[in-house]
Amino acid sequence: MTASMRIASVRLLSKTRHYFSSEVAVQPGARTVHHQPASTRFVFTSVRCNVCLIPVAFLHKGRAYGTQSSSVTVTEEPDLLFQKLSVLVKSHDKAVLDSYEFFATLAAKELGLTLAKVFEPPKNIERLTLLKSVHIFKKHRVQYEMRTHYRCIEISRITGSTSRVYLEYIQRNLPEGVAMEVTKTAIEKVPDHIQMPLWSVQSQEKQGSQ
């Protein structure tokens, strides 16, 4: 796999899987590959924070048709590592969520990701009681309710590039009326200045001075 290799589209899962299984290394400092689809704009930049919560409902996606062929770049900076990638989908229709869960779990298995948990948080019902008539008739009311069903897919031990590819594929095929919230828990290397506790350093200095 050379740096100049081009991947035609994200939907060629078999190619992507082969690519990632050979290239991505777990240790920091390894060369990582950034897959940059040219046409879409994403909020998922490489943020060095522990938890990012970016609801897809606020995501501005580019045009659904007319995608150009994407190029692959290789950089020296280390890839982000995520301990947990939590994808929460919500919708009014439970059947749609069932089918989407099947699709997302199948995609994860094809990419070789470890599915930690796939569960259904309890539904939330928001009820409103309003007056039935425009004028007077206080005793006659009408009640409405809005049901939100949830489904959560948790993936453990995933790299930044893989998560980007998986999330892009998942989100391109998100059905209408379904919202998604993604939570990523990143792993960072412990900073050098707190590798050794202060009291042990001071005791070493005292021993050295003595």
Partner 1 sequence: MAASLRHSTLFTTVCRQLNSTLWLNVGGRSIHSSAVCCKNRAARIRVGKGDRPVTYEQALHPHQIAHRKGWLSQHTSNLQGEDGAADRTVEDLFIRRLIYGTFHGCLADELVIKRRGNLLVICALMLQKLPPHKYYFLVGYTEELLSHFYKCPVKMEIQMLEEKSVYKYL
User: In the bound complex, what is the minimum distance in angstroms from residue 209's beta carbon to partner 1?
Assistant: 59
Amino acid 112 reads: G
Strand 51-55 versus strand 178-187 pairing type: antiparallel
Q: Candidates 46, 124, 129, 202: give the one binding partner 1 (CB under 8 A).
A: 124
Q: Candidates 1, 25, 36, 61: give the one binding partner 1 (CB under 8 A).
A: 61
CB 204 within 8 A of CB 196: no
Nearest to 171 by CA among 160, 182, 161: 182
Q: Using CB under 8 A, which of the segments 8-16, 72-80, 89-97, 200-208 binds partner 1?
A: 89-97
Residues near partner 1 (CB under 8 A), total: 28
Q: Which residue has the tokens 């501005």?
A: 60
Q: Does 21 bind partner 1 (CB under 8 A)?
A: no
Q: Does 59 bind partner 1 (CB under 8 A)?
A: yes
Q: Candidates 1, 3, 25, 146: give the one binding partner 1 (CB under 8 A).
A: 146
What CA–CA distance (Å, rounded) separates 180 from 126? 19
Q: Does 55 bind partner 1 (CB under 8 A)?
A: yes
CA dist list (Å): 132 to 125, 129, 196, 198 = 21, 9, 69, 70
Q: Does 129 bind partner 1 (CB under 8 A)?
A: no
**Interface of this chain with partner 1, residues 148 to 187, rule: CB under 8 A:** 148, 174-179
Q: Using CB under 8 A, which of the segments 25-33, 74-82, 139-147, 151-159 binds partner 1?
A: 139-147
Length of the chain: 210
Q: Which is nearer to partner 1, 29 or 177 (CB)?
A: 177
Helix, strand, coil percentages for the chain (3-state, nearest 5)? 30, 35, 35
Q: Does 64 bind partner 1 (CB under 8 A)?
A: yes
What CA–CA distance (Å, rounded) separates 116 from 178? 22
Q: Which is nearer to partner 1, 9 or 133 (CB)?
A: 133
Strand 70-75 versus strand 124-131 pairing type: unpaired
CA dist list (Å): 41 to 7, 37, 97, 201 = 18, 8, 26, 48
Q: Does 29 bind partner 1 (CB under 8 A)?
A: no
Binding-site ranges for partner 1 (CB under 8 A): 55, 57, 59-64, 90-93, 124, 126, 132-133, 137, 140, 142, 146-148, 174-179
